A and B are shown apart, each in its own frame.
Chain A
Amino acid sequence: MTNPRRSEENDQVGSEATEGRSRSTQLPIVNQSGSSRRTALKIAGAALGLVAFGRAVAPMWSIPENISIAEFLQRHYKELTDEDKQEIFQRLASETKTRYGADVTIVDHRPIPGVKFAYAINLSKCNGNGKCMEACHRENNHHRGTNQSYIRVLEMTKGSLDMEHGTSTYDHPTPQPDKYYMPVQCQQCDNPPCVTVCPVEATWKEEDGIVVVDYNWCIGCRYCEAACPYHARRFNWEAVEIPAAEINPEQGYLSNRIRPQGTMEKCHFCLHRTRQGRLPACLEACPTGARVFGDINDPESSINYVLKNKRVFVLKEELGTRPSFFYFFD
């Protein structure tokens, strides 16, 4: 610390100090010596405050039973070795056993090299029966307290593609004569806004086009939910409750395993099925045949047929999200 000795500045400061002094009314300067009684009272007050704080946050003390140190210290999915994964999957499975009473296997399904998935829905066929939502709800171990899934079927008014004239809460027999039906789920964008905004890289796009979430890395800020233009993301507002008998035991780490409270989730094209050559649960459940799924890199696939031969469109194309999810009318 340097102390330039310049008398003119000292004078300047002196006059400034005098000014400051005359302007401000003096506060009594507390004499601290001999105020031991006051100090003792302060310490007692601080101690009382700390105890009160401890009592106030008491509801949190029961949490460590549910959150292990191993989970707290767990690294990001991409930094895990195969041994790490085995350990974590076993831990998650045993936690599921303890908490839900179900025996499950958790597997790390990796993308099939060279495959890029895409989905298309024939809006002329979809009749709004909602079987896809039910199938998703069961397949993906959704919280039974909410009847939700990764799919919202909008009942749209004929003559408009504007969602302002649609509703997903219709409660009457379908199809209605003046309506058509448009299921919306994660569009697995090639330029996904949710991935861009995530502050901790807890969500990313895999090689086969599926946008996934590491549920054990997500901090629950919900920025991705604000960023998604398709309302495809869900937050786990409370702990998931499912009867043991209803739990789907075939689980993927990045897909349908039971999600922890306070984290985001989304449609993952049923990667625990599709990466093993099966079809998404929503497609299998659809009674109208409106849904087409497949590998766009395979020239023989039905999705390629649709993309080449139908007049397909994507939702909110103007936003530049480049969805892998298409719609068409016959």
Chain B
Amino acid sequence: MKPADFNLGDSNLFGGNPDHPVRSYPKFILWGIGEATDGSLLFYLWMLVLTGIALVGANAWAVQVHDGMIVTNMTDHVSWGLYIANFTFMVGVAAGGVMMVIPAYLYHDKKMHDVVILGEILAIAAIVMCLLFVTVDLGRPERFWHLIPGIGRFNWPLSMLTWDVIVLNGYLLLNLHICGYLMYMRFLGCKPNPRWYVPFVMVSIFWAISIHTVTAFLYCGLGGRPFWNTALLAPRFLASAFVAGPALILILFEVLRVTANLKVDDGPIRVLLSIVRVTVLVNLLMVVSEVFTEFYTGGSHTASARYLFFGLHGHRALVPWIWTAVVLNVVAAAMFLLPVVITNHYVRVAACTMALVGAWIEKGMGLVVPGFIPSTLHEIVEYSPSLIEWKISAGIWALGLMILTVLTKLAIVVFQRPLAQHESEMSSH
């Protein structure tokens, strides 16, 4: 690694700041809150709407905690539903941000390096959503402390769920540190010291792979659920994560271009598009391979796949979902291959949105629910989420978008302020 590729400390700026870095940290937090909550009328409107949705979600969750999980449409047959579906998808989004980190830090793509913080911010928002989706799925959320190593009883290393607790919280901390450190250094007006963040970035690359691998192991380790019990699950999860993550970032670029007048260079967009062009096809290939194995072999092990794609004994609740996903994924894959996707904003956003929704269905409702149908005793009980489940999920999405908005806003301000300072100081040399 060439040190010249990183912004080493700048003594002028550091020396010019009278405050000790530790003492000025509360100041940074206060300033950050001020900056992140300042904005146009549109910004306030957006945040107000999100707050409203989040509050509806909070209310629905309170009802669920009080009345019990009976207010969901989950049953002993389909014991995980919309929450765990969203959780699985969001782990992918969080992991997908690494597709900006790898070009930026491993391949020294300078243009990508300028915007890589967005990928890390997206990871923070996505992980917070993951943790919330798991929390709202608990029957006894107040007993969460039983999961804290050292205080509760942590069934590690046997339970894959304990691994998930470690990797998700670890990934959150890593990204909080990286984003926080980079922003704080810019706020102080000094350049970040690579020793304090590059090792963490390198760890976060492997960590990103691990969060989605562990989440796949959560399912594929269960011998009693043939639909999940496939070695292809973890690679499939990663492939679709590397579709969903970059697709969401590409959409985010467009949103920033329109709302914040922030023009992202073509370079990162091209890199992300090249990644998605490959991963979307790899993902489709794996789905085809999975479907072939299921249907060509036949037998009762394929009952879940038959239920998902064609319905079983007249039960067809998931058939419209999965075929929507198939169409979205195939059309998105085709659109990504067209050159126009680079030049035309609308085509690009359309393709990304389709890929994103396709992945959400395929990995959420299309993966979690059919694992339970038919049940392990081959009973068929169908599932569609209740209003409470939709409210809570929408609330968590709203909160995630609020975190994403606020942090992105802060990053834009932070990374523009010190740059101006740099420039003036540099030009005065």
Contact = CB atoms under 8 A, between A and B. Distances in A.
Q: Answer yes or no: do A and B interact.
A: yes
Interface of A: 1-6, 8-10, 12-14, 16-18, 20-21, 23-27, 29-30, 32, 38-39, 42, 49, 52-53, 56-60, 62-63, 67, 72, 76, 148, 152, 154, 162-164, 166-169, 184, 193, 196-202, 217-223, 225-231, 233-239, 260-263, 316, 319-321
Contacts of B146: 76, 200, 202, 217, 219
Contact of B423 (A8, A17, A227, A261): A17
A282 B374 CA distance: 27
Contacts of A219: 138-141, 143-144, 146-147
Given A56-B59, A59-B62, A21 B420 contact: yes
A57 B62 contact: yes
A201 B146 CA distance: 9
22 contacts: A3-B193, A8-B4, A9-B4, A9-B8, A10-B426, A13-B191, A17-B423, A23-B114, A25-B261, A27-B413, A38-B38, A42-B37, A58-B59, A59-B67, A76-B146, A163-B378, A198-B155, A219-B147, A220-B69, A234-B76, A261-B139, A320-B223
B207 interface: no
A235 B69 CA distance: 9
Given A8-B4, A57-B61, 4 more contacts: A1-B9, A59-B59, A163-B300, A218-B140
Interface residue range, chain B:
35 or more
B11 A5 contact: yes
Interface of B is mostly: helix
B262 A226 contact: no
Kindly name the residue among A17, A226, A239, A263 whose own CB sees the greatest number of chain B CB atoms within 10 A. A226
A228 to B, nearest CB: 6
Interface in B142-197: 142-144, 146-147, 152-155, 158-162, 165, 190-191, 193, 195-196
B66 A235 contact: no
Interface string B397-429: 000000000000000110111011011001001
B378 A166 contact: yes
Contact of B68 (A221, A223, A261): A261
Nearest to A219: B143
A52 B37 contact: no
B294 interface: no
A327 to B, nearest CB: 14
A39 B55 contact: no
Contact of B224 (A4, A8, A319): A319
Contact of A220 (B21, B63, B140, B378): B140
A164 B37 CA distance: 57
Given A6-B8, A59-B59, A261-B68, A223 B161 contact: yes
A164 B429 CA distance: 80
Contacts of B162: 199
Nearest to A320: B223
A173 B281 CA distance: 55
Contact of B9 (A4, A196, A235, A316): A4
